[in-house]
Each structure stands twice: as C-alpha cells, then as structure tokens.
C-alpha cells in the first residue's frame, strides 16, 4: 500500500499532503537528476500508471513483432534487397531496438510508479532513447531524400 500513500494523501487533502509532487516518488539517489520544473505537478493517480503500463506493454509487443517481421522479410527475400529498401530495414531495426530498450523498463516503472533501476541505468535509458530516436529521424530523412530523388530524376536515380 505504500505506493498509494502519496495519491491517497493528496485526494484526502490532509494537512501538508497537498504539497506532494511527482518528485516525492523519486528515489533519493536520483533527486539531483530531476529538474525543478517537475516539482509543480502532483503525483499521478495509480490507475493511470496501470493503464499506461498495459498500453505500453501491448504497443511494445506489436512494435517488436512488426519490426521483427519487416527485418526478417526484407533481409531474407532476394528481390527486396535493394538500396532503397535498406533504408526501410534500417528504420525497422532502429525502431525495434528503441522498443526493445525503452518498453520493458517503462512497463516496470509503471508497475512501481517510479524509476527503479538507479541513476546509471537512467542515463543509459536516456542515451538509448536519444540514439535510436535520432537514427530513426535521420533514416526517415534519407528515405524522403531517396523518394525525392526518384521523383525528380526518375527510376534510374
């Protein structure tokens, strides 16, 4: 029941409980990593954590299966091994790794209603999200450039 303490205190409006913030659930060894901006928000209702956890779980599962299928089909079918399709495989691979590294920790954090993996894992988590996000954005940029090149210069481009 400890995980519901902040929410029930806010809901009841008991004394100093009205001053609880999202940051009150952050482990003490990670408080230095939290920006002051987050001190102005009350804790989320635990029901939202559960719903968000389930939504992320199903979206992660669908994404991993879908991107895995794209990678498998495009790399195993000889006629699909074209330079343009290599960009599609790269995008699917980047999105697969994004969901593989981001989904499971987020589901766990929704269950515990806070970050449970420590400061170093938080840094690695952020690095993976940034890296795979940028790879996906640049891959989509290259796909757009490739499509533009085909439209302007024809199929021979």
Per-residue pLDDT tens over the stretch 63-80: 999 999 999 999 999 999
Measured CA to CA, the distance from residue 16 to residue 32 in angstroms comes to 23
51 and 126 together in one domain: yes
57 and 39 together in one domain: no
66 and 35 together in one domain: no
36 and 83 together in one domain: no
Average pLDDT over residues 15-20: 61
112 and 149 together in one domain: yes
37 and 58 together in one domain: no
64 and 108 together in one domain: yes
Q: Is the pLDDT of residue 54 over 50?
A: yes
38 and 52 together in one domain: no
Number of domains in the chain: 2
36 and 72 together in one domain: no
Measure the N-to-C terminal CA separation of the chain; round to a whole number of Å: 63
Q: Quick one: pLDDT at residue 18?
A: 63
Q: Say if residue 99 is exposed, middle or buried (CB neighbours under 10 Å; 0-12, 13-18, 19+).
A: buried
50 and 123 together in one domain: yes
Higher pLDDT, 10 or 20: 20
Domain containing 113: what range? Answer: 46-153
CATH number of the domain encompassing residue 121: 1.20.1070.10
123 and 104 together in one domain: yes
**Residue-by-residue DSSP string for 7-75:** HHHHHHT-GGGGG--GGGGS-GGGGGGS-GGGGGSPPPPHHHHHHHHHHHHHHHHHHHHHHHHHHHHHH
32 and 100 together in one domain: no
Q: Quick one: pLDDT at residue 1?
A: 45
């Amino acid at each position: 029941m400890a995980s519901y303490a902040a929410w029930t205190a806010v809901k009841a409006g008991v004394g100093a409980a009205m001053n609880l913030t999202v940051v009150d659930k952050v482990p003490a060894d990670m408080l230095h990593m939290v920006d002051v901006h987050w001190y102005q928000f009350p804790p989320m209702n635990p029901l939202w954590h559960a719903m968000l956890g389930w939504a992320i779980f199903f979206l992660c599962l669908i994404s991993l299966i879908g991107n895995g299928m794209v990678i498998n089909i495009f790399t195993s079918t000889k006629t699909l091994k074209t330079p343009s399709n290599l960009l599609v495989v790269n995008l699917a691979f980047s999105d697969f790794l994004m969901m593989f590294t981001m989904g499971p920790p987020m589901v766990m954090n929704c269950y515990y209603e806070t970050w449970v993996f420590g400061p170093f894992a938080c840094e690695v988590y952020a690095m993976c999200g940034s890296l795979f996000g940028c790879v996906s954005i640049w891959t989509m940029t290259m796909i757009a450039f490739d499509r533009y090149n085909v439209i302007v210069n024809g199929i021979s481009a």
